[in-house]
């Protein structure tokens, strides 16, 4: 009896398959899992291991020919998709002295987090921002952007940063457009520091109307972020899971700097044995200072400065460190919040 019905069902599935039909009841549990069950895995990219590959790529191709000379960090379970999580892209970009990465714009929003080197700049919509290690820089959707590393008297140095983009999100919506600027380098219309003076000093231009989805500040310098964390750490406002953790903000609205990507900086105090937490926004971390251990699900990762690691959605997360550590991170939290599906547990 059981066999007969199973055979009949199988035959039925085969017949409807030719009509692009599928029986929901065979898939329901997979489509609506009891808890997040994505493919994204915990992983760590050691900077020590990967840095020589960046040097090699510098010998193989110029920034101009590559357009962007980037080694993409692909999640081991998402190979071939240019994704570090289901919703986000990450890569390490290098620009050598004398090089320019030509100006273009696209629907995808991007962040830069500077990892190594000094002397390069990113230009965003007519204003340049010099890149210093630890700086967080945004290039919002559809803004012209190019990067350059002007030749220095003493020769200059390679500048390397972590790119974070919402490529998989925009791909999901099939909403991507891109175009190249007519020249490699866009014209400069405002002096460096202009947007920081207008919007980054706890002041706003008197008639400013916050109409944009994105922050009017392009560069969030590390020195100021570090100072804020240091002050709070000294006053022992320390969270059991996160240490002292701040989120980057659009100063005109109090919202996120960009509509699809949230960014954070946190300091874990010396001798920290954190409590476990988890959240549905899979998160990419870049280590700024200190060596420590992170437990992601059941895996242990020992990190050091400039390493990158990824925490999947709903994976348990716990920090343990002897030295003081500073971690930058980003996730798709603004999207999940807008959709009302963000969940956290601590």
The binding site for ligand 1HN (CB under 6 A) comprises 68, 70, 91, 93, 101, 110, 145, 163, 165, 167
Closest CB to ligand 1HN among residues 66, 77: 66
Smallest separation (angstroms) from ligand 1HN to the CB of 68? 4
Place of tokens 């992601």: 296
Q: 293-313: buried (b, 16+ CB within 10 Å) or exposed (e) per residue?
A: bbbbeeeebebebbbbbbbbb
| Residue 93, both tokens | 């970009």
- Which of 99/163 has CB closer to ligand 1HN? 163
The minimum distance between CB 26 and ligand 1HN, in angstroms, equals 37
Helix, strand, coil shares of the chain as percentages rounded to 5?
A: 20, 30, 50
Nearest approach in angstroms of CB 84 to ligand 1HN is 12
Q: Which residues pair with 44 in a beta bridge?
A: 309
Strands 145-148 and 308-311: unpaired
Shortest Å, Cβ 331 to ligand 1HN: 18
Name the β-bridge partners of 164.
Answer: 90, 111
Tell me whether residue 167 or residue 252 sits nearer to ligand 1HN (CB atom): 167
**C-beta separation of 52 from 94 below 8 A:** no
- Residue 144 C-alpha from the chain's centroid: 19
Alpha carbons 263 and 258: distance in angstroms, whole number: 9
Nearer of residues 68 and 226 to ligand 1HN, judged by Cβ: 68
Residue 116's nearest CA partner among 100, 98, 96 is 96
CB of 250 to ligand 1HN, least distance (A): 21
Q: Which is nearer to ligand 1HN, 102 or 134 (CB)?
A: 102
Q: How far is the CB of 74 from ligand 1HN (least distance, A)?
A: 12
Separation of CA 321 from chain center: 23
Q: Write down the least CB distance from residue 333 to ligand 1HN, Å.
A: 21
Q: Quickly count: other Cβ atoms within 10 Å of residue 63's Cβ.
A: 22
β-sheet bridge partners, residue 161: 93, 114
Nearer to ligand 1HN, 101 or 115 (CB): 101
Answer yes or no: are the C-beta atoms of 127 and 218 closer than 8 Å: yes
* Least distance from ligand 1HN to the Cβ atom of residue 82, Å: 7
Q: In whole angstroms, how close is the CB of 30 to ligand 1HN at the nearest point?
A: 30
Pick between residue 83 and residue 329 the one whose CB is nearest to ligand 1HN. Answer: 83
Question: Helix, strand, or coil here: 43?
Answer: strand
Whose CA is closest to 116, among 323, 273, 308, 343?
308
β pairing state of 308-311 and 283-289? antiparallel
Q: Measured from the CB atom, is 85 or 93 closer to ligand 1HN? A: 93
Nearer to ligand 1HN, 82 or 287 (CB): 82
Q: Do 276 and 317 touch, CB atoms closer than 8 A?
A: yes
């Amino acid at each position: 009896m059981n066999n007969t019905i199973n055979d009949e069902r199988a035959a039925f599935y085969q017949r409807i398959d030719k009509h692009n039909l599928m029986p929901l009841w065979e898939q329901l549990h997979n489509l609506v899992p009891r808890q997040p069950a994505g493919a994204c895995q915990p992983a760590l990219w050691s900077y020590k291991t990967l840095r020589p590959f960046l040097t090699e790529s510098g010998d193989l191709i110029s920034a101009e020919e590559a357009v962007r000379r980037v080694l993409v960090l692909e999640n081991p379970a998402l190979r071939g998709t240019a994704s570090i999580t289901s919703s986000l892209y990450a890569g390490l970009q290098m620009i050598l002295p004398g090089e320019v990465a030509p100006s273009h714009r696209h629907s995808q929003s991007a962040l830069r987090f500077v990892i190594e080197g000094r002397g390069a700049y990113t230009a965003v919509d007519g204003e340049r921002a010099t890149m210093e290690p630890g700086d967080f820089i945004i290039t919002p959707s559809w803004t012209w952007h190019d990067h350059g590393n002007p030749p220095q008297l003493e020769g200059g140095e390679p500048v390397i940063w972590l790119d974070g983009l919402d490529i998989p999100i925009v791909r999901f919506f099939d909403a991507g457009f891109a175009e190249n600027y007519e020249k490699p380098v866009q014209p400069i219309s405002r002096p460096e520091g202009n947007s920081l003076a207008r919007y980054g000093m706890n002041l706003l231009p008197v008639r400013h109307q916050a109409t944009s989805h994105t922050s009017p500040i392009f560069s969030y310098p590390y020195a100021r972020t570090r100072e804020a964390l240091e002050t709070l750490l000294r006053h022992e406002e320390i969270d059991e899971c996160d240490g002292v953790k701040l989120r980057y903000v659009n100063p005109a609205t109090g919202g996120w700097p960009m509509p699809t990507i949230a960014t954070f900086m946190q300091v874990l105090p010396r001798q920290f044995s954190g409590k476990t937490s988890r959240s549905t926004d899979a998160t990419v971390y870049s280590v700024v200072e200190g060596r420590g251990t992170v437990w992601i699900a059941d895996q242990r990762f020992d990190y050091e400065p400039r390493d990158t690691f990824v925490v999947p959605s709903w994976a348990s997360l716990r920090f343990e460190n002897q030295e003081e550590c500073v971690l930058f991170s980003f996730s798709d939290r603004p999207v999940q919040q807008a959709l009302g599906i963000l969940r956290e547990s601590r």
